[in-house]
Amino acid sequence: EVLLRMHSVGICGSDVHYWQHGRIGDFVVKSPMVLGHEAAGTVIKVGSGVTHLKPGDRVAIEPGVPREVDEFCKGGRYNLSPTIFFCATPPDDGNLCHYYKHSAAYCYKLPDNVTFEEGALIEPLSVGIHACRRAGVTLGSKVFISGSGPIGLVNVLVAKMMGAASVVITDLSASRLQKAKEVGADFTIQVKKESPQEVASKVEALLGCKPEITVECTGAEACIQAGIYATRSGGTLVLVGLGPEMVTVPIVNAAVREVDIRGIFRYSNTWPVAIALLASKRIDLRPLVTHRFPLERALEAFETTRRGEGVKVMLKCDPTDLNP
């Protein structure tokens, strides 16, 4: 293990949800829990067996650490391990604090040209990498992304990075769609009162064809329905956003057109590739951060996120440094 002095911690929608509702699905907060799982900091002390890190190293933290080497770990899909430790998922504490202890194997050294803030943003970026990998985005793909929050935006960045020829994104908010344009979306659709079929038609009209790949980042029933209708026969729909447990969807439409529906759960094996992309400047996450607060003003930061202001709210845990 290593002891870290935390520097930058992003606030995620799930943090806000635990704070407001005390549970997400089967994960219920039963006793006080530290929030925060998008984080980077500096190594202060290392355990006796740690060789790849030393005090003073700047690191990004992968929040999910398997507790045992089970069949999922052996198969390289450790994110599916049922006993995994995960920051800020009950009952495991997160890292929105000054000092934090974490498994050294899940702390990744940041190159000098990658900031703490970018290091913290590797966590949401990882969701995009994992989703686009599961979707099979490749050279020339036409992609429809539903939802333009932080996760929709990282999917735009990653899809374009992986060779997508054109990306169309939907949202209710004009300002969020503007941000999507800034990070590389080719087309945007501001959804108002359209039916799922109408949304699907708009997607097809803008792309000039149905997309082979849809990445659904809202969890809203109507959006999942639109995702099925929009996806080309033989294509893939990846469900990233989580909504109610039971959702009514046109499953027969998907079945008879051989539309593959895939789920994702967090990510695995994404930190090294994310660091390589950031170090080589192939991907720019800086536009995602719209608000910064010192740790002492955490409540304000959470309120800002809850109200849906900006995109990514970042907390600075080191009082001496409010720079990225």
pLDDT at residue 320, as a whole number: 62
Q: Which two tokens stand for residue 291?
A: 């608000």
pLDDT at residue 25, as a whole number: 87
Strand partners, 58: 42
- Residues 70 and 77: their CA atoms lie apart, in Å, by 10
How many Cα atoms occupy the beta-carbon half-sphere of 38 within 13 Å?
26
Q: Are strands 187-190 and 166-171 parallel, antiparallel or unpaired?
A: parallel
DSSP codes, 275-302:
HHHHHTTSS--GGGEEEEEEGGGHHHHH
Residues 6+ apart with CB under 8 A from 265: 79, 80
Kindly report the backbone phi and psi dihedral angles of residue 102, in degrees, each rounded to the nearest multiple of 5, phi listed first: -145, 160
Q: Which two tokens stand for residue 235?
A: 């294509």
pLDDT at residue 324, as a whole number: 46
pLDDT at residue 318, as a whole number: 79
CA angle 267, 271, 275 (to 5 degrees): 145
Rg, the chain, Cα only: 19
- Residues 159 and 100: their CA atoms lie apart, in Å, by 33
Query: Which residue ranges form the domains of the chain, and what is each CATH number?
Result: 2-109+285-316 (3.90.180.10), 126-263 (3.40.50.720)
Which regions in the chain score pLDDT beneath 50? 324
Residues 6+ apart with CB under 8 A from 1: 47, 50, 101, 102, 103, 104
- Residues 19 and 298: their CA atoms lie apart, in Å, by 12
- Residues 208 and 145: their CA atoms lie apart, in Å, by 16
pLDDT at residue 321, as a whole number: 57
- Residues 171 and 190: their CA atoms lie apart, in Å, by 5
Tell me the CA distances in angstroms from 120 to 109, 110, 175, 272, 274, one per residue in order.
12, 11, 23, 14, 11
What pLDDT digit, counting tens, does each position of 210-260 carry?
Answer: 999 999 999 999 999 999 999 999 999 999 999 999 999 999 999 999 999
What pLDDT digit, counting tens, does each position of 69-101 carry?
Answer: 999 999 999 999 999 999 999 999 999 999 999
Given a contact cutoff of 8 angstroms between Cβ atoms, the answer to whether 323 and 13 are in contact is: no
Q: Which residue has the tokens 């429809």?
A: 144
The continuous run of DSSP H or E covering 256 comes out as helix 251-256
How many CB atoms are closer than 10 A to CB 190? 13
What pLDDT digit, counting tens, does each position of 210-224 carry?
Answer: 999 999 999 999 999
Strand partners, 194: none
